[in-house]
Amino acid sequence: MPYSLKYTKIHLKPKSRIILGNKLNYIYHETYPLIKRLYLQTKRRPSTLISGILQPLLWLILFGALFQNAPVGLFTENTNYNLFLSPGIIIFTAFTGSINAGLPLMFDREFGFFNRLLISPIKSRNSLIISHVLFIITTTTIQTLFIIFFNIILYKQINYSLNIIFTTLMITSLITLSIGSMSICLAFILPGHIELLAFILLINLPMLFSSTALAPLSFMPYWLQMIASINPLTYAIEITRNLLDKTIIEHKTFIVQNLWMTITIKQGIWVLIIFNIINLIIVKNIIYYKFE
């Protein structure tokens, strides 16, 4: 073999093996700048975060003042209406925050930034969805903690343990994950932000009034009880209401009796988990279809 060919063959050989990162590393390195961008948007426009805190506070203060002189046993035994209302406001805070999760994605579509993301060398398009979901979970967690601390300051007899607060945040995260994924899915389906805002305004109050946030199931007519029994907010509210009323978590405690059966805390959590699984499967298939 000639010397030149031998020399070329030796020096074209790579000195070391190239090790490709696994899929989780790709998702992490792609998700981090995307979620950082969302945090920067919130920092520059903090009105969205502040309004998400003020709105449930207004509900808590105004509705609490409206029924301040109501009899103690009107809704539940030995429970003041303000204490009855607080868990519903906590879950409603998570719901209103998560239903707006698709707005940043919708604005990216309208301004053309989303097209740049699609043509960028992204290994996994799931990072686009994961970044928005993680962002909305963290923001709703901050809002929920603020409402909980406001309740502790407002009602001196409340003494929440760290275990109760952590479990409550887990329940709100389940609601945030399911509703937030639906909002992100709508951001792909609807033509613009006006339609998305119209849907949010249309669905916001009916979801609140068709749950047990403001009144128990026994106060509702039969047709509204049927809607409230299939509303996932009802089970999240009743779980949170039972948790905040006790110092020890008992999974076999009955929380609500719907039209078909009596639900315990453990069964209510499974209802939320199953709702999340079904919702995520549907949303993932719709998003993949829109990508194709």
Burial 46-68 (b: 16+ CB within 10 A, else e): eeebeebbebbbebbeebbeebe
Structure confidence at residue 291 (pLDDT): 60
Distances (CA, A) of 254 to 135, 226, 261: 33, 19, 10
Ranges 29-33, 132-136, 163-167, 256-260: which has the least confidence = 256-260
Lowest mean pLDDT among 103-112, 116-125, 224-233: 116-125
- In the predicted model, is pLDDT for residue 130 greater than 60? yes
pLDDT at 13 over 60: no
Average pLDDT over residues 258-280: 80
- According to the model, what pLDDT value does residue 19 have? 45
**Percent with pLDDT over 70 in the chain:** 75
Q: How confident is the model at residue 164 (pLDDT cuts 50, 70, 90)?
A: confident
Least confident of 145-154, 222-231, 254-263: 254-263
| Mean pLDDT of all residues in 74-78 | 62
**Chain length of the chain:** 292
What does residue 157 show for φ and ψ, rounded to 5 degrees?
-80, -10
And the tokens for 135?
């962002």
Average pLDDT over residues 147-170: 75
pLDDT category of residue 114 using cuts at 50, 70 and 90:
confident
Q: For residues 127 and 31, is the Cβ–Cβ distance under 8 A?
A: yes
CA 131 – CA 114 distance, rounded (Å): 14
Q: 262-264 and 254-257: which strand pairing? A: antiparallel
Most confident of the following: 30-34, 154-158, 249-253: 30-34
Q: What pLDDT shows up at residue 158?
A: 61
Element (H, E) at 3: helix 3-11
Taking the C-alpha atoms of residue 210 and residue 102, their distance in angstroms, rounded to an integer, is: 23
Q: Which residue would you say has higher pLDDT here, 71 or 200?
A: 200
| Residue 251: band (very low, low, confident or very high) from pLDDT cuts 50, 70, 90 | low
In 3-state terms, what secondary structure has residue 247?
coil
pLDDT of residue 20: 46
The DSSP secondary-structure symbol of 251 reads: T
Average pLDDT, the chain: 76
pLDDT, tens digit (0-9, with 9 covering 90-100), for 61-73: 777 777 766 665 6
Q: Answer whether residue 185 shows pLDDT above 80.
A: yes
Please, where are the H alpha helices in 67-192?
Answer: 81-99, 103-111, 113-119, 126-154, 162-189
The predicted structure's pLDDT at residue 50: 80
What is the pLDDT at residue 18?
45
50: left (phi over 0), alpha (psi -120 to 50) or beta: alpha
Domain locations along the chain: 32-291
Of the candidate ranges 102-116, 210-224, 249-263, 266-280, the one whose mean pLDDT is the lowest: 249-263
Q: What pTM did the predictor assign?
A: 0.77
